[in-house]
Amino acid sequence: MDGITDAPMRALVGEWGCFSYCVTEFVRVSSEALPAKVFRREVPELATGGQTATGLPVQVQILGGDPERMAISALAAVRAGATSIDINFGCPSPTVNGNDGGASLLKSPCRIRDVVRAVRGALPTEVSVSAKLRLGWESIDDIFENAPMAVEGGASWLTLHARTRTQRYDPPVFWPQLARVRELVGVPIIANGDIFSLDDFHRCRDVTGCGHFMLGRGALATPGLAWQVARDLGLPVVNQPEATWEERLNRLIHWCEQFHPGTERRTLARLKQWLNIAYRHGDFDLFQRVKRAESLAEVLSQLDKEVVNKKL
């Protein structure tokens, strides 16, 4: 998630021991193809075998509408160490869409195929290529054209956020569409959108029939959720860490300090973003008390022991 799941956050969730892999924030390819150094900078895990220091595989996500520039950039990412590439056809940002990227390609299914095909064709076969799509720009039924096009281009799996671009993040999510796409295409579908509780996960699994799930905001809002989902799916999980919010926040501060030493304001911003998600989509409301905090010490001083010692 752009602006949130940067390298420190990826290292942190790697510690939780319940994700199969994570995906970078999108790296945007605009007027020129990107060189390998951009990927080395944006995805420091590429220097360590494409895994976080905590052992979580990292997939590199790229975004753009020009097949050739996307292919050259994907190859540069692989030369920098990427072992798996995801292509973003879901970003709803007006700036991104106005520059021919993300969800704007949902209006032209053939262009989705052409971008995926160019990227797939440029990379060694052992590097996997997947695509992330919303259902359509305006119509939830466009996915029945867009998804097969991504597969025709060579995507090995699709992650589907069950909303249109015009919905942005508004309800509802249309999980039933994913069940129909799953029957239509011969590749795994990763169901995504509005899994905020174990109950949501069960309903999503029942409605979509999917065996793979992507958790975005819910994974951060309720840090124990991914562990519960993984255990339900029968995935190998480490023992659920008995962590309090205070411990988890301190671990994020630790990882921010590892990657960006001496940049307290950056760490503070990242902490607030996380707490904002927890406030909006979970049941931890510290954000209300710290949104104007000027320092990490101020945030930590607001931790109410009674509340934060709740195990998650």
Ligand X SMILES: Cc1cc2nc3c(=O)[nH]c(=O)nc-3n(C[C@H](O)[C@H](O)[C@H](O)COP(=O)(O)O)c2cc1C
Task: Kindly list the residues in this chain that would bind ligand X in the complex (CB under 6 A).
Answer: 1-4, 25-26, 61, 88, 90, 132, 161, 192-195, 215-218
Distance of CA 95 to the CA centre of its chain: 19
Task: Give the residue carrying structure tokens 């892999």.
Answer: 21
Of 56 and 308, the one with the shorter C-beta distance to ligand X is 56
Q: Is 242 exposed, middle or buried (0-12, 13-18, 19+ CB in 10 A)?
A: exposed
Residue nearest to ligand X (CB): 216
Q: Give the shortest CB-159-to-ligand X separation in angstroms.
A: 7
Does 204 participate in catalysis according to the annotation?
no
Tell me the closest approach of the beta carbon of residue 91 to ligand X, in angstroms.
6
Nearest C-alpha neighbor of 22 from the set 60, 64, 74, 62: 60
Residues 85, 78: contact at Cβ < 8 Å?
yes
The least distance separating ligand X from the CB of residue 261, rounded to whole angstroms, comes to 25
Contacts of 88 (CB under 8 A, 6+ apart): 26, 61, 62, 63, 101, 102, 132
Closer by beta carbon to ligand X, 2 or else 152: 2
- 134 and 90 Cβ atoms separated by less than 8 Å: yes
Cβ proximity to ligand X: between 26 and 245 the closer is 26
Residue 68 neighbours by CB under 8 Å, 6+ apart: 33, 118
Taking the C-alpha atoms of residue 110 and residue 225, their distance in angstroms, rounded to an integer, is 37
Place of tokens 């930590």: 300
CA distance 164 to 154: 23
- Smallest Cα–Cα separation from 298: which of 276, 267, 262, 277? 267
Residue closer to ligand X by CB (options 160, 185) is 160
Minimum separation from the CB atom of position 213 to ligand X (A)? 9
- Decide: helix, strand or coil at residue 22: strand
Which candidate in 22, 91, 204, 256 is catalytic? 91
Instruction: State the minimum distance, in angstroms, from the CB of residue 195 to ligand X.
Output: 6
- φ/ψ region of 24 (left if φ > 0, alpha if ψ in -120 to 50, else beta) reads beta
Q: Which is nearer to ligand X, 26 or 255 (CB)?
A: 26
Q: How far is the CB of 304 from ligand X (least distance, A)?
A: 27
Q: Which of 161/182 has CB closer to ligand X? A: 161
Catalytic residue annotation: 91
